[in-house]
């Protein structure tokens, strides 16, 4: 499995905020301009906990929208998007990204700083299906991928007999 790009976008919880790309790995400049990518990675009307799939040039963009709690104003909305070449592994990516965000949130490590600081390691961990540490927290991607693949990629039963 391999995504070509991973992009983090944000819509601040304050009045007058606009969506912006916070981080991209590898840098998105090779893909296209920021406005085009942003509109695909952070669709209008996006709500926390939802996935969006869209086409962008030769890629399938899978975006997961989630909240990061703020003490002032409203919570910030973030998008973690991956640009994929193939559609066949979308369900696996959905489960892995959801698990990643939930683990970080449950351990109190879900923040803009953590996401941007560890963006490259997250990208590489997802692409290589290998574990990584975010500060002192283990993100066990090898186990997550193994469990998700066991659920999603079940063998199809072999049909026997004749069908008339």
- All structural domains of the chain, each given as residue ranges with its CATH number in brackets, are 3-152 (3.30.450)
Q: What is the model's pTM?
A: 0.87
* Per-residue model confidence (pLDDT) at position 30: 61
* Per-residue model confidence (pLDDT) at position 95: 93
Q: What percent of the chain has pLDDT over 70?
A: 91
**Beta bridge pairs of residue 59:** 56
Tokens of 68: 């990061």
Q: 124 φ, ψ to 5°?
A: -70, -35
Residue 111 binned pLDDT confidence (cut-offs 50, 70, 90): very high
Asked if 38 and 9 count as a contact pair (C-beta separation under 8 A), the reply is: yes
Tokens of 77: 């909305």
Q: Which residues contact 82 (CB under 8 A, 6 or more apart)?
A: 3, 5, 6, 7, 61, 62, 93, 97, 126
pLDDT tens for each residue of 56-92? 888 899 999 999 988 777 899 999 999 998 776 899 9
Q: Which residues contact 119 (CB under 8 A, 6 or more apart)?
A: 6, 8, 23, 24, 25
**Whole-angstrom distance, CA of residue 152 vs CA of residue 56:** 25
Average pLDDT over residues 122-139: 94
* Per-residue model confidence (pLDDT) at position 107: 96
Residue 27 binned pLDDT confidence (cut-offs 50, 70, 90): confident
* Per-residue model confidence (pLDDT) at position 78: 96
Residue 93 binned pLDDT confidence (cut-offs 50, 70, 90): very high
* Per-residue model confidence (pLDDT) at position 85: 85
């Amino acid at each position: 499995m391999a995504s070509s790009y991973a992009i983090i976008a944000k819509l601040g919880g304050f009045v007058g905020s606009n969506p912006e790309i916070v981080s991209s790995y590898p840098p998105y400049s090779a893909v296209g301009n920021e406005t085009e990518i942003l509109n695909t990675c952070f669709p209008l009307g996006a709500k926390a906990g939802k996935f969006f799939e869209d086409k962008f040039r030769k890629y399938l963009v899978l975006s997961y929208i989630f909240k990061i709690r703020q003490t002032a104003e409203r919570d910030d909305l973030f998008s973690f998007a991956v640009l994929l070449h193939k559609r066949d592994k979308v369900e696996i990516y959905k489960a892995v990204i959801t698990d990643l965000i939930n683990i970080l949130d449950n351990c109190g490590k879900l923040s803009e700083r953590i996401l941007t600081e560890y963006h490259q390691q997250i990208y590489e961990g997802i692409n290589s299906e290998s574990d990584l540490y975010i500060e002192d927290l283990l993100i066990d991607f090898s186990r997550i991928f193994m469990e998700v693949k066991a659920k999603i990629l079940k063998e199809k039963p072999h049909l026997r007999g004749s069908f008339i």
